[in-house]
Amino acid sequence: MLFAIISTDVENSLEKRMPVRDLHIERLKHLESAGRLLIAGPHPVTDELEPEQPAFSGSLVVAEFESLQAAQQWADADPYVDAGVYAQVMVKPFIKVLPV
């Protein structure tokens, strides 16, 4: 089943994100190579394509896991969690309707 992992950043999270970003991306690439990743990315704080000062308010990952517990364990082990990037992480079941 698909699960949405919705994370909310602490304020001024960029300097906490950058040192562990490669580890975070590596985990996502592992899901992708296993054919389990639907979508992943950050939520910028503005709608500018190239802001002068990049900043993020959180992230979204939609991926396939065996269970809610497995999805939660995966989310809890994210390097961004250990680095204090996220103030909150919510994991919810997700049903993809479109596109088909």
Domains and CATH numbers, the chain: 2-45+54-94 (3.30.70.1060)
DSSP code of residue 61: E
Q: Given a cut of 90, is residue 24 above it in pLDDT?
A: yes
Query: CA-CA distance, 51 to 15, in Å (whole number)?
Result: 16
Task: Please report the pLDDT score of residue 66 as a whole number.
Answer: 98
Q: Please provide the average confidence, as pLDDT, over all residues in the chain.
A: 96
Q: Given a cut of 90, is residue 44 above it in pLDDT?
A: yes
Contact 67, 2 (CB under 8 A): no
Q: Given a cut of 90, is residue 54 above it in pLDDT?
A: no
Question: What percent of the chain stands above pLDDT 90?
Answer: 92
Taking the alpha carbons of 76, 8, 91, 31 in that order, is the dihedral positive or negative?
A: negative
pTM: 0.93
How does residue 53 score in pLDDT terms, banded at 50, 70 and 90? confident
Is 50 or 39 the better-scoring residue by pLDDT?
A: 39
